[in-house]
Structure 1
Amino acid sequence: MPRNLNTRPVGTGEPDTRAAVRRIAMRDDVVEATSVIGHPPGQVWQIVGTPELYPRFVPAISWCEVTEAAVRGRGPRCLVRLAPDENTLVEGTVHAVVYRPGEHVVWCGLPDERNWVSLELRPAARGGTELTLRMMLPSLSDEHAGLLTRSAVKSLLRQLCMRIGQQLSGVPAEPPEQDRATTLRVANILVRAGVLTAGRPDRMIRQLNSITQWGATVAGGYLAATARGADDLAVHDERGSRTFGEIDQRSNQLANALASLGVEAGQPVAVMCRNHAAMIEAFVGCSKLGTDLVLLNTGLSPSAVGEVLAEHRPAAVLADDEFASTIAGVRGDFPRVSTWDDADEGYRTLDELIREAPRTRPKPSARPGRIVVLTSGTTGTPKGARRPTPKGLSTSASILARIPLHARDKIAVAAPLFHSWGLAAMQVGMAVRAELSLIRRFDAEETLRTIAEHRCDALFAVPIMLQRILDLPERVRSRYDLSSLRIVASSGSAMPGAFVTAFMDTFGDILYNFYGSTEVSWASIADPADLRCAPTTAGRCPPGTRVSVLDDEGRRVPPGDEGQIFVGNDMLFDGYTNGSTVSRAEDLMATGDVGYQDASGRLFVTGRADEMIVSGGENVFPRPVEEALVALPGVSEAAVVGVPDDEFGQRLAAYLVLDRGARIHAEDVRHYIHQRLARFAVPREVYFVPELPRNATGKIVKRLLGDELWPLPQS
């Protein structure tokens, strides 16, 4: 499918987006309505004859997936989902019993062909098109009968024609109505989550004083939580637990110990840790001291660690013993401290520093310390991105508006704390005074054991972790009582639609998909209702966030078109530590992704802007091909990349990981994709590999496919 659907009317004079409904009639069980679009039938057919585009133009259609492509003499077959309102979802299979390109298509339900929808195109005056919609859906239950009302059909046709007219005329889409983060809206969210509740006056005063004195920093958040309940459990790891009061005391001592080593406010301190309590103490202690905390990815090579530390020049490095040799190889006169001692010989430990330091709480520094998160580094050496200090509780309210965490929830954190998503779990958990169960090394079954043992309400993970959990045999999953789990929040990379549906069918409608980046923080969140309606959606914007899909000139694209995704909110990053930044348009920042919004305002990400290839003059993104591949029975994982081609410029190559025992031929894969996607989206090469190269957060590192570090397999 082309990146843009945009065409311009031919021989019709000025662009015409008029779509006046001329007549509407009902006879027996058939509803009929007619409208006129100011564009010729050939252009209107580009949309009417392409069913996978329907959700972009009809709000009531949330999902349409072509399962069999049209061939001569036979129309396509599709899986379709209808969501006419927030409480209704109807799913079924349809096929085109009439499919005359440029003229007429009739969709019938399967197996009950008494349900049908007809779209007929006829030439109209001034080069326009008369579009007639007829519907007969007799098998719908009473609760869905609203689809058959005169006003509903009239509204559906009006919206369809208006959006088609705007698309063909190049008129920018109207942005979805923004959910504004007003003071009242934020307060309601925080009250609902239990962040703002009545309590003992002395505790409430101490809580407010902490926020006033320290701001919405990590130090301020943990001090506020301590004020509300110093004896409440804050953190579990495999060696024990900490209360909020213990974290407060130990982080005071850590801040004083670092100061005694010569570390000053405003200087960077690097941390290379897995998930455990000492890392939380490092967050809080460095925040109290006012230092900038540089989070090192545990999957970085020694040379990359050396480059990052050479750029940031830390005043101290805190690292687990397993990374001691890496840190030892870095030049620099800075203290090295062990945060997880499990070696016979190592650096001085964090506990030793804390035991010798005074318990006095430092005074807040003039400039709050910042957190520096490294970009994923999938295309080279990672860059440091300076995270802004949250503007207050409204930052947490944005996430809580879409992910319904409550005060004192128990959260299992499998996503690495050095990653933006693990960091978000800690920060939002801090706001609700959550009890965090930190998973140091991810193991699918051990994660279920942790959830069952601690009766966790939520799990924060990256998609590959959830895939590993779903891959566990049912007999293993059934050993653990997961009845307490009501939220599984995922971020970090795309989740295939087939996986989303399978996960919720297995564990219930508890899955939330968070879309954002290190640079923009968050853009949208899909809740379980969104994911049932459209499994690949990135969801809708939380309060105070705005998303626009823009073209190369920074203008909003017409309805249905793809473009670059730009985001605006209060947590856009402050730039990279090397002085570079990312593209902006007005008050919005680019995510680096390409996508579109459907007719209901849901966001969809179709790929990275830098992954687009041009094959034979057609723009192709790998992600829709990957989505189709993982839906093929027997395929566990898929990655698609562009490779040079002498004839077409570039072509697609697919790398597949098969389910255990599955056997598939490359030609079968190519035939399967050809049935579902355009010819130029069919991979020319198909390779079967035992695994895909991934970084420490589970994201596929495509640049390694086929090079000397990841040998090219045989197809």
Structure 2
Amino acid sequence: MVTRVLLTLVKAGVIRPLGPRGLAGTVRGYLHWDITLAWGYQTGAGRHPDRAAIIDDDGVLTYAQVNERTSRLAHAFRPRERIGLLCRNGRAFIETMTACTKVGADAVLLNTGLSQGQLAQVAADQEIDRIVADREFAGVLPDLPVHFTDELESLIADGPTTPLPRRPPRGRLIILTSGTTGTPKGARRPEPASLAPAAALLSRIPLKHGDVISITSPLFHAWGLAAFQLGLVLGATLVLRRRFDPAQALRDAEKCTAMFVVPVMLQRMLEQEHRPELRIIASSGSALPPKVAARTLEEFGPVLYNLYGSTEVSWASIATPEEMLREPGTAGKPPLGTRLAIVDDQGRPVPEGETGRIFVGNEMLFDGYTNGTSKESLDGLMSTGDLGYRKDGLLFVAGRDDEMIVSGGENVYPHDVEDLLSTLDGVTEVAVLGVPDEEWGQRLAAFVVGAETLTAEQIRDHVKANLARYSVPRDVFFVNELPRNAAGKVLKRQLREQH
């Protein structure tokens, strides 16, 4: 295992010969900060000080500049203080997170889509001391001390250059769950103890040292955060925009080698005409519709990689372009050092082809929710909360465990119906969910976007012709759009309330 990790890191260029300056920066960063974000920028400042670290709406910052600026900013925070970050993608988010690491403060990554009431509840639940926020959120902030991001420049300029304490206490990183079913919970994410987690992702996604990576997914979300952390290990240049615009993202891609997206963003970019050359498009954060996968592979070439995971388990599997060309709906295979099991309700492995509960083991399983609860575990593996099956060695996700319905005594998986309907001409988006039914207990309802030429009967006939009769949605609603959170996940709770 150790040998495979080292070989993967060498192949990606993470481990390579260093000059005296680069070696000194790497060693000095490790002795001072351990393997943290602070170590990453200290190392970058030694190995490639003049390389662009961040390109955002405010310009360009080099690795040396980010390292110095975050050391100055760190003096504004205190060890064990809990800082809430309510920022869109850009330097303020990254520099605040890194400054927290340098002083040993906790960082709570706040979802920019939360309401005023949700923010107040989260701030109380997570015991946040103060907030760093974009000024656009001034009207929804809880009653706490706040540093607006347009004021950080003065904090950095006024920050002392005196050395920071060596090996500060490890600050905790707290990510909020998606909140698709209510107020989001805080999930404590571990700091990587080594470069093995980076090697795991690089074993299936062939990123390289010095890549230029566009991160369109929100940094407060687990996928955007993973892109940032992996990019730092690679000494990459990160291209960030405060707001996602498909045309702008495609223009940015002309100067990039890789792009991290969530599926709905990829779908919006496919609606544009421009097709820049990219070596890698990495997608995660929500289910990737097979039709979107197939079209991306056709129009951009064999460059699409799809990661299946969650805030709690980080990653479970990654699908390569070759695997999705064969099976567009697959979630792929577990990467290096990852264990995956599909079991029945008694915890027994199910045969290939049978649907069961997905459990995962890797080095980045979360440390539990901040309210003291956790996910179910089995022999060192953690539940993803999803159902799935294996076919020809590949993983397929059937949907959420709590979304499966029982209709007339039959188990029905809404995800199967969503995948089928998404292949219909004219359908751009679709969500299927269970609703109460007096006769059958539950039935399926389909919410369809973009199918102007289709009727509800045609939708039902298509399902009837391809799936079991109990998978046919009794209710079909044509809507202009699906409600989504800031990370791109469909808010099925809102659809259920509208039903």
The alpha-carbon deviation at position 706 of structure 1 amounts to 4.7
- Work out whether residues 54 and 238 of structure 2, in 8 Å CA contact, stay in contact via their aligned partners in 1: yes
**In terms of mean alpha carbon deviation, does 394-403 or 676-685 score higher?**
394-403
Match of 2:453 in 1: 663
The alpha-carbon deviation at position 439 of structure 1 amounts to 1.9
The SS at the match of 1:633 is coil
- For 2:373 and 2:41, locate their aligned partners in 1 and report how far apart those are by CA, in whole Å: 32
Match of 2:143 in 1: 331
1:257-336 paired onto structure 2 within 5 Å: 257-258=76-77, 264-327=78-141, 330-332=142-144, 335-336=145-146
TM-score by length of 1: 0.69
1:452-601 paired onto structure 2 within 5 Å: 452=254, 455-472=255-272, 474=273, 477=274, 482-483=276-277, 485-599=278-392, 601=393
- Work out whether residues 272 and 298 of structure 1, in 8 Å CA contact, stay in contact via their aligned partners in 2: yes
Counterpart AA for 1:235: I
- For 1:525 and 1:376, locate their aligned partners in 2 and report how far apart those are by CA, in whole Å: 21
Q: Does 1:244 align with 2:244?
A: no
- For 2:314 and 2:477, locate their aligned partners in 1 and report how far apart those are by CA, in whole Å: 35
Match of 1:418 in 2: 220
- Work out whether residues 31 and 167 of structure 2, in 8 Å CA contact, stay in contact via their aligned partners in 1: no
What is the alpha-carbon root mean square deviation over aligned residues? Answer: 1.2
The alpha-carbon deviation at position 211 of structure 1 amounts to 2.4
Q: Does 1:389 align with 2:182?
A: no
TM-score by length of 2: 0.98
Superposed CA offset, 1:217-248 (max 9, x none):
11112211222111111000011010111111
The SS at the match of 2:228 is helix
The SS at the match of 1:671 is helix
Superposed CA offset, 1:344-371 (max 9, x none):
xxxxx11121121102231244531121
Counterpart AA for 2:354: D
Match of 1:28 in 2: none
Structure 1 unaligned spans of 5+: 1-181, 259-263, 342-348
Q: 2:2 aligns with which of 149, 164, 183?
A: 183
- Work out whether residues 86 and 132 of structure 2, in 8 Å CA contact, stay in contact via their aligned partners in 1: yes
Q: 1:603 aligns with which of 363, 372, 395?
A: 395
The alpha-carbon deviation at position 559 of structure 1 amounts to 2.4
- For 1:492 and 1:535, locate their aligned partners in 2 and report how far apart those are by CA, in whole Å: 17
- Work out whether residues 290 and 364 of structure 1, in 8 Å CA contact, stay in contact via their aligned partners in 2: no
- For 1:442 and 1:364, locate their aligned partners in 2 and report how far apart those are by CA, in whole Å: 38
The SS at the match of 1:465 is helix
- For 2:346 and 2:75, locate their aligned partners in 1 and report how far apart those are by CA, in whole Å: 52
Who wins on radius of gyration, i.e. which is larger? Answer: 1
- For 1:308 and 1:578, locate their aligned partners in 2 and report how far apart those are by CA, in whole Å: 11
Superposed CA offset, 1:556-581 (max 9, x none):
11222111100001110001111111
The alpha-carbon deviation at position 215 of structure 1 amounts to 1.9
Share of identical aligned residues, percent? 48
Counterpart AA for 2:112: T
- How many corresponding residue pairs? 499
- For 1:413 and 1:676, locate their aligned partners in 2 and report how far apart those are by CA, in whole Å: 37
- For 2:361 and 2:265, locate their aligned partners in 1 and report how far apart those are by CA, in whole Å: 29
- Work out whether residues 398 and 543 of structure 1, in 8 Å CA contact, stay in contact via their aligned partners in 2: yes
Superposed CA offset, 1:274-303 (max 9, x none):
001111111110100111100000000110
- For 2:218 and 2:300, locate their aligned partners in 1 and report how far apart those are by CA, in whole Å: 23
- Work out whether residues 32 and 167 of structure 2, in 8 Å CA contact, stay in contact via their aligned partners in 1: no
Structure 2 unaligned spans of 5+: none
Q: Does 1:254 align with 2:73?
A: yes
- For 1:221 and 1:443, locate their aligned partners in 2 and report how far apart those are by CA, in whole Å: 29
- For 2:242 and 2:489, locate their aligned partners in 1 and report how far apart those are by CA, in whole Å: 18
Match of 1:57 in 2: none
